[in-house]
Amino acid sequence: MILVAAILTYIRSMQGFSPIRHSPSLRLSVEDQQLQHRPIISIIDDDESMRCALKSFVTSLGFKAYTFASAEQYLDSSHLDDTSCLITDLQMPGLNGIELQQSILAQGRHIPIIFVTAFPEERMRARAIEAGALGFLGKPFDSSTLVELIEKALEIGRKT
């Protein structure tokens, strides 16, 4: 009888107990929680040095970044639904940036897209913007312009 009472007292004291809330090593700091909810910027470029540079730049702004060597790699990834902004090259082997944009739209997804290209042809720029791209930057580009476009993309995402 005493043992049953002790067990019931123990169970009552454990109700509502959360190991995360009570363990300093498991408790997430506010900073860690914010890092878990950072917007995700996906970067697609067949040029590895450009992918790395863009990822470094984007993460320096406090965003989470994932990189892909091709449009197909991105489309096959698990990041389609959690991408807050997509930065993509225009001319790549396989699907080019415009075809990627068309594929995303055909799937009913509305991901803000920023094109970055070494070949800023007016015809392609007009086509991308007409289909809803936020920006079309020629390489090299001004980093402050990219920051403004990313902020605009995230603002659009907050409104949807």
Model confidence pLDDT, tens digit, residues 60-89: 999 999 999 999 999 999 999 999 999 999
Find tokens 């902004």 and name the residue: 85
- Percentage of the chain modeled with pLDDT above 90: 71
pTM given for the model: 0.77
First to last CA, the chain: 60
pLDDT single digits (tens) 25-67: 444 444 444 445 789 999 999 999 999 999 999 999 999 999 9
Q: Is the pLDDT confidence value at 11 over 90?
A: no
- Domain enclosing residue 125, as ranges: 36-159
* Domain presence at residue 23: no
What CA–CA distance (Å, rounded) separates 43 from 70? Answer: 9
Q: Residue 27 domain-assigned?
A: no
Give the DSSP H/E element, type plus range, for residue 137.
strand 135-138
Q: What CATH number has the domain bearing residue 77?
A: 3.40.50.2300
3 assigned to some structural domain? no
Question: Is the pLDDT at 159 greater than 80, yes or no?
Answer: no
Residue 26 phi/psi, 5-degree rounding, is -100, -15
Amino acid at 110: H
pLDDT at position 6 over 80: no
Instruction: Confirm whether 44 is domain-assigned.
Output: yes
16 within a domain of the structure (yes/no): no
Name the one residue in this structure whose structure tokens are 């920051």: 147
Number of independent structural domains in the chain: 1
Nearest to 154 by CA among 105, 70, 87: 87
In a domain, 83, yes or no: yes
